[in-house]
Amino acid sequence: MHPNSKGTFYITTPIYYVNDVPHIGHAYTTVAADVLARFKRLEGYQTFFLTGTDEHGQKVEKAAQERGVDPKAHCDEMVKRFQSLWQRLNISNNDFIRTTEDRHKKVVQRILQDLYDRGEIYQDSYEGWYCVPCERFWTEKDLMEGKCPDCLREVVALSEKNYFFRMSQYQSWLIEHIQTNDRFILPSSRRNEILGFLQSPLEDLCISRPKKRLRWGIEIPFDPDYVTYVWFDALINYVSGIGYGSDQNTFSDFWPEAIHLIGKDILTTHTVYWPTMLRGIGLTPPKTVFAHGWWTVEGKKMSKSLQNVVEPNRLIDTYGPDAVRYFLMREVPFGMDGDFSHAAMIHRMNSDLANDLGNLFSRVLSMVIRYFDGTIPSPSSLKEIDQRLLEIARKVLAQLPGQMNDLAFNKALATVWEMVSATNKYVDETAPWSLAKEEKDRSRLSTVLYQTLESLRIIALLLAPFMPTTAERMWVELGMEGNPWERNLDQDGSWGGLAPGRKVVKPTPLFPRMEAPKNEKGI
């Protein structure tokens, strides 16, 4: 661990299937993880942020077949779409793991061999039902009206030999683990859902697929006729990505202080399969698995057939990366479902970003340029109204870490906006343009403008995890050096960090004002 750090923090996103291009759902988890990673770095935690791609299994094999290309060539092509999107969105991941990389495959095979050697994996013949799109087996009683209980699609009858992990033996341990660690599954409604699920007997987990049915996977080390079940392979990325079995120092720095962000649809795999797999190899489960909600689009489920899939690249083209990041984090409480619409996006952009924040920023900087030739003035004695602004900043700074710990991103942004509003109100009430008329004594005008600039500096610092590009522009235009997200919240959050005598930069609008959408589809 770095000697000056407050501790370590490890955050992950799901690794995305490369069967398709990235959509708003993928961008959502990745942005949330990035915001938290950046916030923790700002707080002084040594942070490791991992994302990547899930490249094996039937879905990917089928997508490659449909395009008539080799699966690995397909993955190599698709992975670039994710990587370039993350660059455009300013995602600060420390590493990117692909499950087709040797460093990952080796760990999966070693874990399988170890479990097999210790009798935790056995072979058995399986008879039941199989859902091809979900790549999951179901028993007769699991089915809902004869269909897959997860996706409600057709299932096929299947009888074959496979390998099984003795997951069932961990049922009571898992229930106790969930009950005694109230931050293991968040939000708590999801925790109750899994505790409910665990009231029925837990079965062993089928972890292999015969090669005659699926070739695209990691070969089972003790039986070359089989490949590994894609979920057993994929979940292991969370430890192979930080050096499990190869770089023990890094691994023990970051495990088990981990938080996995996932969507609500992959809750069971992360809170039942994953902790029992870890238990099987003698590792402690991650600290938290947080399941967020799903986005609909203009009130409808997003689907290819409805042609309403929201492509993040198009959103970035229209609104810019920071406005997209802001919208995703501000619009819906993390954990709840939300609806994307261009009208809502434009509303947030115009009212919160262009108006409240952007106008305030350019108004204040323009006054410093007009009245002080761009030089940051020195403050003198504070009045009650100045003190009040300072108190609000202190309150906001004190509230934010707790809200971020709870992954209440929308509340954290609302809290920062309390400061934006208070600063707007302060400018209106102190009316620097009137003070400027009093030519003889400039001290009051100096104090008022200094207070306002200082408030904007702290706002830039707090917004850095959410909107890194905008925060950097604000920081530089306020005459500060470097990047706000490379600062430290404790040191730079205290009032008075702005140096009088330095020059501000002539501002350009932080956000453009957008026209209201032209038609009801918002396009």
Name the residues that contact ligand MSP, by CB under 6 A: 14-17, 25-26, 28-29, 54, 234-235, 237, 262-263, 265-266, 294-295, 302
Smallest gap from residue 13 Cβ to ligand MSP (A): 8
| Least Å from the CB of residue 373 to ligand MSP | 50
Residue whose CB is less far from ligand MSP, 135 or 223: 135
For the record, the structure tokens of 291 come out as 């399941």
Tell me whether strands 185-186 and 156-165 are parallel, antiparallel or unpaired. Answer: unpaired
Whether residue 22 is preceded by a cis peptide bond, meaning omega within 30 degrees of 0, is: no
CB-based contact 408:334 (threshold 8 Å): yes
Q: Which is nearer to ligand MSP, 302 or 393 (CB)?
A: 302
Closer residue to ligand MSP (CB): 241 or 358? 241
- CB-based contacts of 489: which residues, under 8 Å, 6+ apart? 42, 43, 44, 397, 401, 461
Of residues 14 and 243, the one with the C-beta less far from ligand MSP: 14
Q: Which of residues 223 and 265 has its CB atom nearest to ligand MSP in the complex?
A: 265
Helices of type H across 335-383: 342-348, 360-372
Cα gap 143→151, rounded to integer Å: 11
- The least distance separating ligand MSP from the CB of residue 237, rounded to whole angstroms, comes to 6
Minimum distance between the CB of residue 199 and ligand MSP, rounded to whole angstroms? 24
In 10 A of CB 69, how many CB atoms? 14
Residue nearest ligand MSP by beta-carbon distance? 263
* Alpha-carbon torsion angle 49, 53, 56, 61, nearest 10: 170
Instruction: Compute the least distance from the CB of residue 221 to ligand MSP, in Å.
Output: 21
> Closer CB to ligand MSP, residue 235 or residue 346?
235
- Please state the closest distance from residue 16 (CB atom) to ligand MSP, in A: 4
Instruction: Name which of 26 and 279 has its Cβ closer to ligand MSP.
Output: 26
Q: Are strands 208-210 and 226-228 parallel, antiparallel or unpaired?
A: antiparallel
Q: For residues 518 and 180, what is the distance between their CA atoms, to the nearest angstrom? A: 53
Partnered with residue 164 across adjacent β-strands are: 122, 206
- Tokens for 449, please give them: 């403008």
Nearer to ligand MSP by C-beta: 174 or 504? 174
Shortest Å, Cβ 256 to ligand MSP: 16
Distance CA(482)–CA(425), nearest Å, equals 29
Q: What is the CA radius of gyration of the chain?
A: 26
Number of CB atoms found within 10 A of residue 180's CB? 8
Least distance to ligand MSP from the beta carbon of 235, Å?
5
